[in-house]
């Protein structure tokens, strides 16, 4: 018998604190949860500040024995402690080997690939569901494609063949943890692996469905939405998660496209702003290879535990439009929007609802184990939980 249903690790970080507040507000009283991290004083201060009546647990993410002791006490670990390549490996290893379910908000695809290679079989054998990418990276993309596929199957009995996603973001801002994760990817040289569309499908039998195409690095005019766009900065993460979902669907003998291409863009409006934004993104990727530049960005940017103001978070929003075409040439538009900053409000909602879904809807979700994507792990339960929040999603023929 486990002492806890869910342990929130990394509770004193910027996203961690907001996750604790979400649980405090939305978790049923029957849910037994605790907060955890490596700094007892900060955890106790957080408990006092929020007037929490939950246990405080201390474990250093770099100490495998301490992490094992922590993990064995719970059914589910929710962790916001990043960069995950630095602080997540022991937690995933322990969950995989001890049959404990796991959710995080990482966008560090190369690290996930490494963890999958090392612990994928152990997770399958133990029954652990390891579900990465449960934040803004990459639930909107994964759920949006899932919903678009559902629409086409029900309306035309066809499969999605090609889709383009267009994001619009408002206000909000970057938190220190996200910045440090991006800088760590640059410092470790792992950004080179991000370009491989099959990075997260290498362990699957079905991985040749991905249509080859010459990628668009520059800004261009998108006729479908009548706006200038440029490559979305998280496209390399989101597209791989979508591809893994399709590969896993094939593995589990579920309906899936025989060939598929997914691309993502940031819809910024006019030509000059889209050009400048595209240039800035490319410049950051190139200049970020230099240690001096990374050091300067780290010094000037938000620190660990810091993030945008509550006002900016609440005034932010994201909107995702995915235009898809099926095997017969039919087209449909999926629209998703959320009234709150993508990285600091939507992410917290998605992550916490994922953990709560694992606990409260365990009888309705598929009986799969191993390294799963959000839609494969939850299927329609993810959609049902999301529409009970502030997320709006619909699909229409165009």
Sequential DSSP letters for 344-364 = IIIHHHHHHHHHHHHHHTTTT
- Same domain as 152, residue 277: yes
Residue pair 258/213 in contact by the 8 Å Cβ criterion: no
Against a cut of 0.75, is the pTM above it? yes
Asked if pLDDT for residue 149 goes beyond 90, the answer is yes
Residue pair 55/61 in contact by the 8 Å Cβ criterion: no
The answer to whether residue 57 is domain-embedded is: yes
Q: What are phi and psi of 102, to 5 degrees?
A: -145, 135
Asked if pLDDT for residue 213 goes beyond 80, the answer is no
Asked if pLDDT for residue 357 goes beyond 80, the answer is yes
Q: How far apart are CA 165 and CA 322, in angstroms?
A: 4
Question: Which pLDDT band, with edges at 50, 70 and 90, does 5 fall under?
Answer: very high
The answer to whether residue 27 is domain-embedded is: yes
- Same domain as 158, residue 101: no
CATH number at residue 52: 3.40.50.720
The answer to whether residue 356 is domain-embedded is: no
Question: Which pLDDT band, with edges at 50, 70 and 90, does 269 fall under?
Answer: confident
- Same domain as 156, residue 91: no
The answer to whether residue 324 is domain-embedded is: yes
Question: Which pLDDT band, with edges at 50, 70 and 90, does 293 fall under?
Answer: low
Q: How far is CA 252 from CA 219, 240, 348, 387, in A?
A: 38, 18, 29, 26
Question: Which pLDDT band, with edges at 50, 70 and 90, does 13 fall under?
Answer: very high
The answer to whether residue 85 is domain-embedded is: yes
Q: Which domain holds residue 88?
A: 4-132
- Same domain as 242, residue 205: yes
pLDDT of residue 361: 97
pLDDT of residue 302: 64
- Same domain as 148, residue 124: no
Q: What are phi and psi of 343, to 5 degrees?
A: -85, -15
Question: Which pLDDT band, with edges at 50, 70 and 90, does 176 fall under?
Answer: low
Mean pLDDT is lowest, of 125-129, 282-286, 359-363, for: 282-286
Give the bridge partners for 339, in sequence order: none
Q: How far apart are CA 166 and CA 370, in angstroms?
A: 31
Question: Which pLDDT band, with edges at 50, 70 and 90, does 233 fall under?
Answer: confident
- Same domain as 168, residue 113: no
**What mean pLDDT value characterizes the chain?**
91
pLDDT of residue 229: 93
**Ordered DSSP codes for 127-157:** T-EEE---BTTBHHHHHHHHHHHHHHHHHTS
Mean pLDDT across 344-348: 95
- Same domain as 96, residue 242: no
Q: How far is CA 247 from CA 83, 102, 243, 257, in A?
A: 27, 21, 6, 9
The answer to whether residue 284 is domain-embedded is: yes
- Same domain as 150, residue 115: no
Question: Which pLDDT band, with edges at 50, 70 and 90, does 250 fall under?
Answer: very high
The answer to whether residue 182 is domain-embedded is: no
| Domain count within the chain | 2
The answer to whether residue 262 is domain-embedded is: yes
- Same domain as 251, residue 110: no
Question: Which pLDDT band, with edges at 50, 70 and 90, does 271 fall under?
Answer: confident
pLDDT of residue 217: 64
Give the bridge partners for 397, in sequence order: 332
- Same domain as 320, residue 225: yes
Pick from 345, 289, 335, 336: which is nearest to 313 by CA?
Answer: 345
Pick from 111, 131, 95, 97: which is nearest to 362 by CA?
Answer: 131
Pick from 36, 34, 46, 47: which is nearest to 10 by CA?
Answer: 36
- Same domain as 110, residue 158: no
- Same domain as 74, residue 128: yes
């Amino acid at each position: 018998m486990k002492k806890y249903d869910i342990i929130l690790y990394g509770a004193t970080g910027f996203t961690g604190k907001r996750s604790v507040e979400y649980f405090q507000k939305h978790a049923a009283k029957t849910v037994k949860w605790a907060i955890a991290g490596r700094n007892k004083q900060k955890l106790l201060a957080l408990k006092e500040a929020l007037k929490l009546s939950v246990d405080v647990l201390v474990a250093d993410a770099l100490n495998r024995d301490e992490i094992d002791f922590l993990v064995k006490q719970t059914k589910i670990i929710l962790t916001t402690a990043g960069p995950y390549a630095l602080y997540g490996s022991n937690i995933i290893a322990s969950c995989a080997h001890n049959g404990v379910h796991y959710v995080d908000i990482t966008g560090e695809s190369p690290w996930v690939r490494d963890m999958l290679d090392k612990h994928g079989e152990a997770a399958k054998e133990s029954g652990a569901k390891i579900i990465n990418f449960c934040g803004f990276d990459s639930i909107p993309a994964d759920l949006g494609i899932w919903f678009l596929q559902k629409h086409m199957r029900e309306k035309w009995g066809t499969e999605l063949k090609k889709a383009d996603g267009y994001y619009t973001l408002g206000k909000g801002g970057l938190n220190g943890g996200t910045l440090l994760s991006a800088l760590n990817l640059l410092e470790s040289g792992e950004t080179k692996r991000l370009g491989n569309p099959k990075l997260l499908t290498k362990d699957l039998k079905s991985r040749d469905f991905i249509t080859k195409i010459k990628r668009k690095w520059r800004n261009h005019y998108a006729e479908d939405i009548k706006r200038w766009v440029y490559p979305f900065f998280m496209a390399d993460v989101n597209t791989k998660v979508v591809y893994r979902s399709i590969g896993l669907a094939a593995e589990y003998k579920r309906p899936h496209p025989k060939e598929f291409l997914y691309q993502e863009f940031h819809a910024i409006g006019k030509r000059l702003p889209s050009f400048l934004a595209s240039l800035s993104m490319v410049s950051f990727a190139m200049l970020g290879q230099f240690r001096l530049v990374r050091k300067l960005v780290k010094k000037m940017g938000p620190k660990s535990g810091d993030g945008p103001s509550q006002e900016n978070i609440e005034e932010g929003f994201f909107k995702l439009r995915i235009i898809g075409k099926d095997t017969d040439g039919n087209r449909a538009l999926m629209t998703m929007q959320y009234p709150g900053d993508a990285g600091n409000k939507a992410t917290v909602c998605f992550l916490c609802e994922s953990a709560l879904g694992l606990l409260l809807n365990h009888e309705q979700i598929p009986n799969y184990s191993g390294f799963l994507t959000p839609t494969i792990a939850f299927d329609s339960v993810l959609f049902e939980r999301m529409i009970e929040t502030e997320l709006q999603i619909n699909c229409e023929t165009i």
